[in-house]
Amino acid sequence: MRVWKFGNDIDTDAIIPGRFLTIYDPAELAKHAFEGTRDEFARDVREGDVVVGGTNFGCGSSREHAPLALLGAGVRVVVARSFARIFYRNAVNTGLLPLVAAGADSIPDGAAVSVDIAGGFVEVDGRRLVVETVPGFLKEIVDAGGLVAYAKNLDEVKTCSTE
């Protein structure tokens, strides 16, 4: 499993361009992931590979096609110094794990990588990097395997005005 390293401010237009938004199937979206930005990604990405970004990963559009394209490509984890808000939430909801790592910049492209979520670290070329797991209430969604699985078993929710 290898690292696909990207820079700062990787936007959702880069992850999946607007002209592919009538596609909803993750496997089909994956064929166009990073098209025009990094064409070899869709061709060479393998199951379990990890995408690594700098700051503000996933900024821009609210399109959930972005995490779906990565999931379709076999990516289960994105590590970045920071994430844009909507992408972060979309990733958690769809079962793509966003991990914040202060040391993300030091991870080189193409490095061998493994992720230990329970241990709270990623191992890159044999070196351990500490990652922050998702906070509080979002963890319940991650543990359920995404928001669909979480919400399936709910008949109603208590809002802050009724609790």
Partner 1 sequence: MAATIAEKIFSMKCGRSVRAGDVVMAPLDAAMIHDITGPLAVRVFGEMGGERVFDPERIIMLFDHQVPADSIPAAENHVFMRQFAEEQGIHNYDLLEGVCHQVVMEKGRAAPGEIIVGTDSHTCTYGAAGAFATGIGSTDMGFVLKFGALYFRVPESILLEVDGVFDRRVGAKDLILSLAGDIGADGATYMTLEFTGKAMERMNMAGRMTCANMAIEMGAKAGIVRPDAATWEYVAARREIEPFDLAGDDDAVYRERRHYDVTDLAPQVAVPHNVDNVVDVADVAGTKVDQVFIGSCTNGRYEDLAEAGEVMGSADRFAKGVRVIVIPASRTEYLKALRAGLIERFVEAGALVEAPCCGPCMGGAFGLLAPGEVSLSTSNRNFRGRQGSAQASVYLSSPATAMASALYGEITDPREV
Contact residues for partner 1 (CB under 8 A)? 9, 11, 13-14, 17-24, 36-37, 55-56, 59-65, 82, 84-86, 89-90, 93-94, 136-137, 146-148, 151-152, 154, 156-161, 163
In the bound state with partner 1, the residue whose beta carbon lies nearer, of 26 and 124, is 26
Tokens of 163: 């609790």
CA dihedral over 79, 76, 147, 24, signed as positive or negative: positive
Q: Which residue has the tokens 């910049």?
A: 105
Write the Ramachandran bin of 117: left for phi over 0, alpha for psi from -120 to 50, otherwise beta. Answer: alpha
Residues in the chain: 163
> Minimum distance from CB of 112 to partner 1 (Å)?
29
In the bound state with partner 1, the residue whose beta carbon lies nearer, of 26 and 129, is 26
Tokens of 139: 């963890």
> Minimum distance from CB of 56 to partner 1 (Å)?
4
> Minimum distance from CB of 129 to partner 1 (Å)?
21
